[in-house]
Homo-oligomer: A and B are copies of this chain.
Amino acid sequence: MTTLKDVAEHTGLGLGTVSRALSGHPNVRPETRRRVEAAARKLGYQSNGLARALRSNRSNSIGLIIPDLENEFYTTAASVVQGLLAAEGFRLIVSCSNNSPEVDIELLGTLIENRVDGIVHVPCTPDGSDLVRTANPGVPIVEYARRSSARGVDSVIGDDERGSAEIVQHLVDLGHRNIAVIAGPSGLSTTTDRVSGFEQACRKNRLPKRGCPVLYGPSYDAQWGEVATNQIIDDHPDVTAIFASSSRGALGALKALRKRSLSVPKDISLVGFLNPAWLDVSEPPLTTYELPLNDMGDMTARLLLDRIRRPRTEQAAEPQVLRFDGRMILRESTAPPRTHSL
């Protein structure tokens, strides 16, 4: 592979000059720059980013850790963040923890090892980015979607609590008093917040506590949604409405209900959470709570860039928590509770 040195020798110029010419440094005669560029092109020169990053101590890359590459909730964020960062000259290194805390830690380590300039992190554990944060106070980290107890870390999250409360209230308004929630893994802030919103609404409306089961699961995926739904139908025959607190969970619930030939909303009402593209061509179209994912991704990228670029002294000492409101989307999956038995 041709190096800067090769170009220097080829042009008879010094290494420094060639470097400056190629990196757009002002103090270079236009004529010289042209010569260098011509030689570089001719020799097929490709600058070595590793060497540059090592020397200049800036890698121009940002790490992103999401728990699931096949969940639109996270890939939307990835997409938005990558778009914005690319425009600012940063590369995005996307990695996926599969919701495993061990992998998560390991990935954080690798990112640090590769000297990324900043990290967007969807933590898989309550203490989240803490380990890395303490080991490495230098790298700016923004937590996305879920927040953790890590200190000195900004976060951009949706107002899950309020969203949950709102959507449950809608069910109550229709007359439901026995509502089940398909929750995610306990310990994640999203789960906690969504369940908390649910319980808040229950309390406010004096719903019977034991008539409103909360099913914590191993993940947010469709399979768990399916299992949980079957469990609800089997073990809680009084339940007339299900709140699937994630998009994949809703998908699973839909599948389970369909397999059992239960009609939504005639036999049972179903609401989702989040609004993936397919949710309004489902049978039936699902009532849900939409979060402004584009704005959230946008803000995540901006916040991180700001942390990277502004000297620390200028910045707010306290980490920021930016919470985004969503809105309910009424579709056709809810109705007053059934009067017949299943």
Contact = CB atoms under 8 A, between A and B. Distances in A.
Interface stretch (A13-21, A91-99, A117-125, A208-216): A91-99
A278 to B, nearest CB: 4
B1 A138 contact: yes
B112 A46 contact: yes
Nearest to A286: B281
A280 interface: yes
Contacts of A281: 251, 254-255, 258, 282-283
Given A82-B96, A96-B82, A114-B49, A135 B44 contact: yes
Interface in A275-296: 276-278, 280-284
Nearest to A135: B44
Interface string A38-53: 0000001011111101
Contacts of A276: 278
B283 A222 contact: no
A135 B43 CA distance: 9
Given A278-B278, A282-B282, A50 B46 contact: no
A136 interface: yes
Copies in the complex: 2
Interface string A63-98: 000001110100110110011001000011111101
Interface string A222-262: 10000000000000000000000000100100110010000
Contacts of A138: 1
A54 B48 contact: yes
Contact of A54 (B54, B59, B69): B54
| Best-buried of A51, A96, A114, A254 by chain B (most CB within 10 Å) | A114
B280 A255 contact: yes
A323 to B, nearest CB: 24
Nearest to A1: B138
Contacts of A283: 281-284
A159 to B, nearest CB: 23
Contacts of A254: 281
Given A83-B96, A222-B277, 8 more contacts: A44-B136, A48-B115, A50-B54, A61-B114, A91-B114, A251-B277, A281-B282, A282-B282
15 contacts: A1-B138, A46-B135, A50-B53, A54-B54, A68-B79, A70-B75, A75-B75, A82-B95, A83-B98, A91-B93, A93-B93, A251-B277, A251-B278, A258-B281, A278-B282
Interface of A: 1, 44, 46-51, 53-54, 59, 61, 68-70, 72, 75-76, 78-79, 82-83, 86, 91-96, 98, 103, 109-110, 112-115, 135-136, 138, 222, 248, 251, 254-255, 258, 276-278, 280-284
